[in-house]
Amino acid sequence: MSDTTPPQAASVDRGLIETADQLALAIDGGEMKLRKGLEEEVYTGTLNADVVGLSHRIAADLAGFVTEPDSRNVEYTTAPYRSYQILLDRLMSKRCRLRRYLCEIGDYTLIPGSTLSLEESDDFFISNPKNPYYQYIRDTYGTKVVTASTHINVGVPDPDTLIRAYRLLRAEASMFLALTANSPFFRGRPSGDHSTRWTMFPVTPKGAPFFISHAHFIEWVNEQLKSGVMFNPRHLWLSIRPNGEGTPDEINRLELRICDRISRPRVLGAVVSLFEARIWQAIENPMLDPLLSMPNHELVELCEANEIAAARASLDAEVVDWQTGNTVAMVDWIRSRLTETLPVAERHGFRDRLEPVEEILRDGNLAQQWLRQVEAGATPREVISKSIAALTAIDREYDPDCPSPLPDSL
C-alpha cells in the first residue's frame, strides 16, 4: 500500500463492515475467524506486455484506487472482513472495476508479475512530483521499489499478542514468498531468481529485531524516526510488520508484505488461510515463540537467510527450521506447517480454504511454471503475454462481468 495513506483508511464505512460480518455468520461461521484485509498492487499496460504508467489517471477517476510512487502500478484495498468469500468478492470487484476502466480508456490490461519484467530502462516515472515522500523514495531507492505485491492484513486486537504473532510469522515469512513467487524475469530475461522483486527490494531498516513487546516496538520505531533511518512510521519495509492507523502507538493488525502479487483468487484464499491459521496458533499457544528457541540476533540472521533462499529458489530452496535448527527442503517445511494448521483451521471453520496449498507444492508457483515455459523455448515476453490471457480468463471465470480487451483468438 502507498505508505502515505493509512491502510484500510478511516473513510471506510464501519457500518458496512459490521453488516458484512453479520452476513459472514450465516455464510461460513465468520465469528470464529479473524478480520482480514487485502492490499493489491498491480502493473497496468498493453496487451503486448509493456507496462504503461496510468495510476495518476486511475486514482483521479476511480474512488478507492491510489497511486504508488511510480505511476506504472496502482493500488486498491479491501476493508477487513471475517468471511473469506466476502473478502475475495470485494477484492475481485475492485480488480474487475479496474479492468473495466482500462478497457474504456484504451487497449490496456493488467500485467502479470511482480517486477518490471521486460523494462530495460532505470527511469522512474513519479506519479506525483509534489509528494515529498515519493521524491524521497525515488531519490533513495529508484526503481528497486517499483514492484507489485499483495499485502495481507489480519486483525489481532491485543498489541502484545500481536507482537508475539509477529515473531512467529516473521520466522516463517519465507514460506509465503516461496508459495507466491512470480517475478523470475528482469530486463527481458530470466534473472536467475524466482522472486527478483524480493532480492532487489530494499528491506528497511536493516536488522530490525524480533520485538519483545509492544513497548519495545514503540521505542525502536521512535529511535529510527529520530535518527532519520525511517522517513515516517510506515517506512518499515520488512517481510511482515505490526501495523495500525496510529502505528507505532496503536497497532491492531499484522501485515504480511513479503508475497509477490497473488493473481489467482483460490491461491490468494489459501495463502491468507495459512497465514490466519498460524496466527491462531500463536494466539492459542504462547510457547510457540521463536525467541524461546534462540537469541534475537540469531533469529534475524536465520530469517534473512531463509528469505533470500526463498527469493532465489522458492519451493526448490533449502531453509533452516527455527524450531529445530535443521536444514530442510522448503516444500517439506511448508507441508509440515500445513499439516500442523489443519486442526486449527478446522476448528475455526476455514480448513477447505487451505486445499490449494498442496496444489502449489505439487504443480509449482507461477515463477516455476513460467521458467518451465522458457526452458521449453518461449521468450519472457511470450510467457507474460500468454499469462495476460490466462489470468484474464481466471478473473472472468470468477466474475463473468469482468471485461477483457483480448481477441477471442487469444
| Phi, psi angle pair for 356, to nearest 5° | -65, -15
Whether pLDDT at 410 is above 60: no
Helix (H) or strand (E) holding 358: helix 355-363
Residue 404 falls within a domain, yes or no?
no
Stretch 102-116: mean pLDDT, rounded?
96
* Number of CB atoms found within 10 A of residue 211's CB: 25
Residue 141 falls within a domain, yes or no?
yes
Rounded CA-CA distance 133/139 in Å is 10
For the whole model, what pTM was predicted? 0.92
For the chain, the average pLDDT equals 92
Residue 408 falls within a domain, yes or no?
no
Looking at residue 113, its pLDDT comes to: 97
Stretch 208-228: mean pLDDT, rounded?
98
- Interval 174-217: pLDDT, tens: 999 999 999 999 999 999 999 999 999 999 999 999 999 999 99
- Interval 39-81: pLDDT, tens: 999 999 999 999 999 999 999 999 999 999 999 999 999 999 9
* Number of CB atoms found within 10 A of residue 167's CB: 22
Helix (H, G, I), strand (E, B) or coil at 68: coil
Residue 23 falls within a domain, yes or no?
no
Stretch 264-276: mean pLDDT, rounded?
98
Residue 288 falls within a domain, yes or no?
yes
Residue with more model confidence, 327 or 404: 327
Looking at residue 1, its pLDDT comes to: 41
Rounded CA-CA distance 143/129 in Å is 15
Looking at residue 405, its pLDDT comes to: 73
Whether pLDDT at 12 is above 50: no
Query: What is the chain's percent helix, strand, coil content, to nearest 5?
Result: 50, 15, 35
Residue 173 falls within a domain, yes or no?
yes
Query: What's the CATH code of the domain at 76?
Result: 3.30.590.20
Confidence of residue 5 (pLDDT cuts 50, 70, 90): very low
Whether pLDDT at 383 is above 70: yes
Residue 32 has what DSSP assignment? G
- What share of the chain has pLDDT > 90, as a percent? 90
- Interval 22-33: pLDDT, tens: 444 444 445 589
Whether pLDDT at 398 is above 90: yes
Residue 215 falls within a domain, yes or no?
yes
Tally of structural domains, the chain: 1
Confidence of residue 404 (pLDDT cuts 50, 70, 90): confident
Looking at residue 31, its pLDDT comes to: 57
- Interval 122-147: pLDDT, tens: 999 999 999 999 999 999 999 999 99
Nearest CA to 242 out of 321, 188, 354, 166 is that of 166
**Domain of residue 389, residue span:** 36-398
Residue 337 falls within a domain, yes or no?
yes
Looking at residue 21, its pLDDT comes to: 47
Looking at residue 16, its pLDDT comes to: 46
Rounded CA-CA distance 191/33 in Å is 39
Stretch 264-269: mean pLDDT, rounded?
98
| Cell numbers at 89, concatenated | 468478492
